[in-house]
Structure 1
Amino acid sequence: ENYPDSPRKGDVITLSADENKDVHVFHAGTSFVDGQIVTNGGRVLCVTALGENAAQARGLALSVSEKISFAGKQYRTDIGNRAIKK
């Protein structure tokens, strides 16, 4: 929320406890405060996934993205569309 001008900071991030070796969540704009992961402005996380094909990888990444929660969360759902349409 308010990105890029004055992004929110300090919102607690809830990540899914599900583990999947084909999914990686990279932290960018996060901090660790009082034992919790919180937003620290800007692009907060990057979710990547592997699959049998681009459509499967995209679907898995979106599924995990939907399970991540924090106030003001925004994420793109169009990434991978061009690769899948080919």
Structure 2
Amino acid sequence: MDWPPHSPDLNPIENVWALFKNHYRQTVWERQRIPGDEDQLIALAQEVWEELLWRHIYTYINGMPGQILTCIRSNGGSTRW
């Protein structure tokens, strides 16, 4: 399924990205670990990605049919998650 490029309310990646960013910030804060170079940044980002709970990600993906119906009912207007 293709998603419209300017419809973040119909694109679950926006919410997954927010999950990742929040978890990344929390990890840096808790571990007092600020990446010193590009390799450390990539390594920490990979760790954080692997720690994400997939049940949260699937919540957004599985909610797409409802999001689409809500969008149709609002005649293409914006929706909320």
Q: Which band: TM-score by shorter chain?
A: 0.3 to 0.5
Answer 1 or 2: higher relative contact order, Cα 8 Å, separation at least 6.
2
Which protein is bigger by CA-based radius of gyration? 2
Structure 1 or 2: more strand by fraction: 1
TM-score by length of 1: 0.31
Structure 1 or 2: more helix by fraction: 2
TM-score by length of 2: 0.32
